[in-house]
Amino acid sequence: MVLKVNNLVLRTLRRQWGGLSMMNRGLSASRVDYGKSLVYEGYGEPIEVLKLKNTEDLKPGTNEVAVRWILSPVNPADINSIQGKYPTKPKLPAVGGNEGVGEVIDVGSGVKTVRVGDRVVPNGNNLGTWSTRGVYPAQGVMKIPESFTDVEASMLNVNPCTAYRMLKDFVPLCPGDTIIQNGGNSAVGQLVIQLCRAWGLNSVSVVRDREDIGDLKDHLKCLGATEVLTETEVRTTDLFKSKRLNPPKLAFNCVCGESALNILRHLAQDGLIVTYGAMAREPLTIPASALIFKNITAKGFWMTSWVKSHSDSQERWEMLDDLGNLFASKKLQAPPHKIIPLDEYQEAAKNTLQRDGKTGIKYILRLS
Is 86 assigned a catalytic role?
A: yes
Helices and strands (H, E) in the chain, number of each type: 13, 17
In contact, 82 and 120? CB cutoff 8 Å:
no
Q: What values do phi and psi take at 137, rounded to 5?
A: -60, 140
Q: For 353-361, which contacts have Cβ atoms below 8 Å and span 24 or more sequence positions? A: 353/76, 353/79, 355/279, 356/208, 357/183, 357/185, 357/207, 357/208, 357/279, 358/208, 358/210, 360/185, 360/216, 360/336, 361/336, 361/337
Centre a 10 Å sphere on the Cβ of residue 118 and count the other Cβ atoms it contains.
Answer: 18
Angle between helix axes 314-328 and 159-169 (nearest 10 degrees) is 110
Within 8 A by CB and 6+ apart from 367, the residues are 68, 69, 70, 71, 72, 100, 102, 129, 130, 131, 132, 342
Catalytic residue among 34, 40, 43, 86: 86
Q: Whose CA is closest to 185, among 148, 216, 161? A: 216
User: Which residue numbers are catalytic?
Assistant: 86
